[in-house]
């Protein structure tokens, strides 16, 4: 087969709702592509057009030769959606922490059964399961998998369909350092097995196998070899400019209502267990008012479970000695009493909003700690929401439904939701996940200013050291549910 054989040819593609215009791209055999661009530039829209999930004008032609697999294209989405044993997919956030709901969730093994029926040879199944480090997870309920574990399951499901072309939409998001290294090796191994990839990613996450780059800017696509791209980026010295924080808008933010406490959090000998599996093991931890903490650890180390005890989403909090804002848990306070003092964002929070929710209503829902806005807001609350919309530069997105936004835009809206009531405690779980570099730098500036001006207590989770704001000076690291010194 000629190395110049065309596999995919895109001619004059346009997606009106996705902001793409006159996109042209030719992918040849032995080429492995990465698609880069700022948040909202249309990367996911292009992936959906390639797989027929978006209406488009123009032409897309595929010419997969017989030497490749014949099952076409597989797309690995940013989020893994699945059904439970009751055949429903309407999950609520706290379900992952409830053992009874975990019993209603299918296991990794059950999830893979659907895909293994069509696969010829048990050796093929075993090879992918082992390569993706899924063997220890086969009996785990899907609802309790970490981000990294879920991503490996998505890869297994896609690879068992034996595709000729695999499109991965931001697969490195939410993975720890070792997880990202592992995924780099896996993608390199996949391409070595004659599977072509299109990788939607960031410039910081380009596996060795990538040979060509497509850069989406201003609704159009510019193509490079990898070496040409690095030359181009190095020459653009004046392109990146940090946005300036509007200090006048910051002055309009009202102080937190309740700041009369010494300790935001105290945990004494806290342990969490599901069946025989221990998730947290003898945690002793104190967070004083105004302290800014980084919480780190590998995927599955127990970080999300730890945070769920603070946000009142985990019922096992009542079986442990935990104090929030100087008060012991289980002494009459409601979940809403606790949430009122906390602003929170998680990597999967956007999945629980109804599709009709506009960006404005999502941000406003943070005033009431609800997943959606179910009441009228008054004039003062309206001003609060508008202040944060301006601060985070979200005005053009105000009336757009959340589900129509890019991942980065969704994250900025959810960050505004977490900040809108200026709570005394902020819990930010991978807040820069999906943001481009400019958005991340600006958001960190906002957090630094907020914590400085209002003595805000901060719990900050990130797998990237560069994403941690300067105000962080305290560190908690978890490994297999235990504190690491």
- Confirm whether 6-235 and 247-484 share one CATH topology: yes
Q: How many CB atoms lie under 10 A from the CB of residue 249?
A: 15
Which residue ranges of the chain lie beneath pLDDT 70? 1-3, 66-71, 79-104, 115-121, 235-246
Rounded to the nearest 5 degrees, what angle is found at the Cα of 348, between the Cα atoms of 115 and 332?
Answer: 125
Tokens 């779980």, located at residue = 429
Q: How far is CA 12 from CA 27, 58, 62, 392, in A?
A: 15, 5, 15, 34
Give me the helices (H) in 203-275, please: 226-235, 247-251
Residue 350 has a pLDDT of: 75
Fold of 6-235: Rossmann fold (3.40.50)
Residues 218-273 pLDDT 10s: 888 999 999 999 888 776 644 444 456 667 777 778 777 777 899 999 999 999 98
pTM confidence score = 0.80
Residue 140 has a pLDDT of: 86
- Any idea where the domains of the chain sit in the sequence? 6-235, 247-484
Phi, psi of 446 (to 5 degrees): -60, -45
Contact between residue 45 and residue 18 where contact means Cβ atoms under 8 Å apart: yes
Residue 187 has a pLDDT of: 93
Longest dimension (CA), the chain: 73
Residues 271, 482: Cα–Cα separation, whole Å: 9
* Assigned CATH for 247-484: 3.40.50.300
Residues 251, 240: Cα–Cα separation, whole Å: 27
């Amino acid at each position: 087969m000629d190395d110049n054989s065309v596999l995919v040819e895109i001619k004059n593609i346009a997606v009106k709702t996705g902001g793409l215009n006159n996109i042209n791209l030719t992918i040849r055999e032995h080429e492995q592509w990465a698609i880069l661009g700022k948040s909202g530039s249309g990367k996911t829209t292009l992936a959906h057009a390639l797989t027929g999930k978006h209406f488009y004008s123009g032409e897309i032609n595929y010419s997969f030769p017989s030497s490749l697999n014949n099952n076409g294209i597989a797309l690995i989405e940013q989020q893994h959606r699945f059904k439970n044993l009751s055949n429903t997919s309407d999950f609520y956030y706290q379900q992952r922490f409830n053992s009874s709901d975990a019993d209603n969730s299918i296991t990794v093994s059950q999830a893979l059964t659907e895909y293994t029926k069509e696969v010829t040879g048990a050796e093929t199944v075993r090879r992918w399961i082992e390569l993706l480090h899924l063997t220890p997870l086969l009996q785990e309920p899907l609802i309790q998998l970490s981000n990294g574990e879920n991503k490996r399951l998505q890869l297994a499901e896609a690879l068992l369909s034996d595709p000729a072309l695999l499109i991965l939409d931001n697969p490195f998001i939410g993975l720890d350092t070792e997880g990202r290294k592992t995924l780099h090796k896996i993608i390199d191994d996949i391409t070595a097995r004659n599977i072509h990839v299109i990788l939607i990613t960031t410039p910081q996450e380009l596996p060795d196998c990538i040979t060509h780059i497509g850069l989406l800017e201003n609704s159009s696509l510019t193509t490079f070899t990898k070496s040409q791209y690095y030359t181009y980026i190095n020459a653009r010295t004046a392109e990146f400019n940090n946005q300036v924080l509007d200090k006048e808008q910051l002055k309009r933010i009202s102080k937190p209502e309740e700041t009369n406490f010494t300790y935001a959090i105290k945990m004494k000998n806290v342990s969490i267990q599901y069946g025989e599996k221990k998730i947290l093991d003898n945690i002793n931890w104190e967070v004083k008012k105004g302290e800014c903490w980084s919480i780190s650890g590998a995927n599955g180390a127990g970080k999300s479970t730890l945070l769920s005890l603070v946000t009142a989403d985990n019922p096992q909090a009542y079986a442990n000695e935990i104090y929030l804002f100087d008060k012991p848990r289980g002494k009459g306070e409601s979940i809403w009493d606790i949430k009122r003092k906390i602003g929170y964002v998680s990597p999967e929070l956007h999945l629980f909003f109804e599709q009709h929710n506009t960006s404005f209503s999502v941000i406003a829902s943070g005033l009431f700690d609800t997943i959606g806005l179910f009441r009228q807001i008054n004039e003062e609350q309206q001003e609060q929401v508008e202040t944060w919309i301006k601060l985070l530069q979200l005005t053009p997105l105000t009336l757009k439904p959340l589900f129509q936004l890019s991942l980065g835009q969704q994250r900025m809206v959810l960050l505004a939701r977490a900040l809108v009531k200026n709570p005394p405690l902020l819990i930010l779980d991978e807040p820069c996940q999906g943001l481009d570099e400019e958005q991340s730098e600006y958001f960190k500036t906002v957090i630094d200013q907020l914590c400085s001006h209002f003595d805000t207590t901060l719990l900050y989770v990130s797998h990237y050291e560069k994403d941690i704001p300067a105000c962080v000076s305290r560190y908690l690291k978890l490994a297999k549910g235990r504190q690491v010194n």
